A and B are shown apart, each in its own frame.
Chain A
């Protein structure tokens, strides 16, 4: 079975632009989470969606938004890009939600560079 897929792999944008990142979860998984990983740091939680509803949001500005589609794939949108948005964006899918063992499986990430 295919794992979590993300597109694109790499992306270069300039300040002020908008970007859309895409994620397809593992087949059968209904929950998708997004994380931002700045160089030299651990991933920081951005959003979790389950059954197309937002279940949680991290400490990120309103420039960050996301949605989940009926097929459980997800998009992360970032508006008015800043240099500090340069990071690896990781998508994770999980079968369960709301349990301590919520085995999140990560995709390969999208590396965003903002110039």
Chain B
């Protein structure tokens, strides 16, 4: 069974600084995808970034980058130059390529607060 672990219930960062949100995963499937979503207080899940298990390079999308360490089964999200609007819940999620490929499995999330 696949599992996502986010060990940081909450994180604080100063505006304009970088922050790393941790995510570790567990799966026996050699092919999988890792996702990060942002959920503001309004509730909508906003897709941020994707990393495939066979991708050679770490994914980047603007101020977001994914620090993918396959051997350690970690997929940490790095947000550079934090902005006040980055304050939200952040979820790490995974999809396998095997029999349960129809679903995303989510972690419990990390609440990020950006201070001015």
Question: Which A residues fall within an 8 A CB radius of B?
Answer: 33, 35, 40-45, 48, 55-56, 58, 88, 90, 92, 97-109, 111
Question: What is the chain A residue whose CB lies nearest that of B107?
Answer: A42
Chain A: CB-nearest residue to B89 = A42
- State which of B31, B46, B96, B103 has its C-beta within 8 Å of the C-beta of A33: B103
Q: Is the CB of B43 within 8 A of A33?
A: no
Q: Which residues of A contact B33 (CB under 8 A)?
A: 100-102
Interface of B toward A, CB cutoff 8 Å: 4, 31-33, 37, 42-47, 50, 52-53, 91, 93, 95-97, 100-109
* B residues near A101, Cβ cutoff 8 Å: 33, 50, 52
Cβ of B101: which chain A residues have Cβ within 8 Å of it? 98-100, 102
Q: How far is the CA of A106 from the CA of B45 in the complex (A)?
A: 6
Given A103-B50, A104-B47, CB of A42 within 8 Å of CB of B103? no
